[in-house]
Amino acid sequence: MLNPELFISFLTVSLLLAVTPGPSNAFLMAQTFAKGKSAGIQSALGFAIAGVLHTLLMVLGLSALLKTNPTAYNLVLWLGAIYLVYLGFVSIKDSFQPAPLDSSEKPHVSTKKQKNVTVQAMMTELLNPKVAMFFIAFIPQFTDVSLSLSVTYQLLIFGLLYPVFAFPIDFAYVQFGDKIAGYFRANPRVQIWIDRITGVIFILLAVNLLLG
């Protein structure tokens, strides 16, 4: 059984962190604006899956490798930045292509591209070593060595709970973003510029990852 006081503290801080705008929220909103509500939900799902994987990596001790090995940290950092730049480039490039009418939510976005959003969000989060450092620094604070439950299991439980708490907050961001984007969806020209702005946001996120 978990320490009740530490659990309540974890829940409170987790909710505050999830509500606070950050790079993940920017990615989430950009996808919602550019590809619609379903893409935003898929992004949130991708972040949740990444949270589970980060938890497993933390428990296995692989995330600690990034903390102790600057080369590994920088490698993952650059891979994450390059991936974001790639997503930005693709978003901008696709905005210049003719619009196939095969998506009910957004005419110029194909169903296949919408399905890729979950993977894109997951990879963006996994290739961010700062997220791994967050799990290493944040979650162990709420473990209690005096409990009969091992610290490893406590880390696993807290780590798996974090994406569960964060997902409803991400969903609320998607709902809010979708309502705003709804005002622009009737105008294809505006949609195209939203795609281009989304691409720029991805590239700026890459810069923020490297310099932040």
pLDDT of residue 153: 92
pLDDT of residue 34: 85
pLDDT of residue 86: 93
In percent, the amount of the chain with pLDDT more than 70 equals 90
Q: What is the mean pLDDT of residues 90-105?
A: 67
Determine which of 29-43, 99-113, 175-189 has the lowest per-residue pLDDT on average: 99-113
pLDDT of residue 113: 53
6 in any annotated domain? no
12 in any annotated domain? no
pLDDT at 62 over 60: yes
Q: What is the mean pLDDT of residues 65-92?
A: 92
Q: Give the confidence band of 191 by pLDDT, cuts at 50, 70, 90.
A: confident
By CB atoms closer than 10 A (0-12, 13-18, 19+), residue 150 is: exposed
* DSSP per-residue codes, 129-157: HHHHHHHHHHGGGG--TTSSS-HHHHHHH
CB 95 within 8 A of CB 173: no
In percent, the amount of the chain with pLDDT more than 90 equals 55
pLDDT at 103 over 50: no
| d(C-alpha 172, C-alpha 177), whole Å | 9
> Residue 107 to residues 95, 174, 196: CA-CA distances in angstroms?
12, 19, 16
2 in any annotated domain? no
The mean of the pLDDT values for the chain is 86
pLDDT of residue 139: 92
- Structural domains in the chain (count): 1
| d(C-alpha 85, C-alpha 67), whole Å | 24
Q: What is the mean pLDDT of residues 146-153?
A: 90
pLDDT at 58 over 70: yes
64 in any annotated domain? yes
User: In which domain, by residue range, is 202 found?
Assistant: 24-211
161 in any annotated domain? yes
66 in any annotated domain? yes
pLDDT at 101 over 50: no
Q: What is the mean pLDDT of residues 43-67?
A: 92
| d(C-alpha 62, C-alpha 55), whole Å | 10
pLDDT of residue 67: 84
202 in any annotated domain? yes
| d(C-alpha 150, C-alpha 191), whole Å | 52
18 in any annotated domain? no
